[in-house]
Amino acid sequence: MIELFSPAKIEQMRPAGRFVAEVLTALREAADVGVNLLELDALAERMIAERGATSCYVDYHPSFGAMPFGKVLCTSVNDAVLHGLPFDYRLRDGDLLSVDFACSVDGWVADSATSLVVGSADPADLALIRTTEEALEAGIAAAVVGNRLGDISAAIGDVARAAGLGVNLQFGGHGVGRTMHGDPHVANDGRPGRGLPLKPGLVIAIEPWFMHTTDEIYTDPDGWTLRSKDGSRGAHSEHTIAITEDGPLVLTARS
């Protein structure tokens, strides 16, 4: 079911968005060569506890997951492109790390993701990250009253194609509110002028993710981590936004 939220309820969502942004900022600052993925997960867990928030991931067990997720972050490194289950791994020079984080504050959920390179960066990896960011910006710009859901998807796909990248449609954005994943699904490619009319009060996560040389993925033996089929690296950017009469409101904007 697609739910539209009043301006008052969207205001109530702001603290969750700010907190998710604060956690991702702290994780970006902490991520460095030699830092263990489990240390990053522990940092986020401490911040959740201090804030009195609730993780959306620990007990999360959708049909595509082999078991409850059990951690508070998704940490996807190099050819791991989505849903990376944190494990005992120390980041190495040049690793491309994507971090996805969602939690509930006072009953409202926010969801966001960011990608970075630790240590010495390959320019191609930085370009891939920037493409996901540009696609996210384009998707947000299209999230205005009077447009349709397909306009958001088409804007994302246009950026990917301009960069020579393929688009995987198995996973994309989604509705956000009291739960992490709701309707509608927000594909990372589509046809403009098609799909759900965008109305004030719709709250969605928009999340472009691309890989260097493929659009195909497979599931790691851990039962969660999704990897590129050809071993190429991936990047992921995401914000939770609200569609308002005054334009898109980015609830998870980082300072």
From the annotation, which residues make up the binding site for a divalent metal cation? 100, 111, 174, 207, 238
Amino acid at 231: G
User: How many Å apart are CA 17 and CA 19, to the nearest integer?
Assistant: 5
User: How many Å apart are CA 37 and CA 62, to the nearest integer?
Assistant: 23
Contact 185, 174 (CB under 8 A): yes
User: How many Å apart are CA 192 and CA 63, to the nearest integer?
Assistant: 30
* Residue set of the binding site for substrate: 83, 181
* Residue set of the binding site: 83, 100, 111, 174, 181, 207, 238
Residues in the chain: 255
3-state secondary structure of 50: helix
33 backbone dihedrals φ, ψ, rounded to 5°: -55, 130
205 backbone dihedrals φ, ψ, rounded to 5°: -100, 130
Contact 199, 145 (CB under 8 A): yes
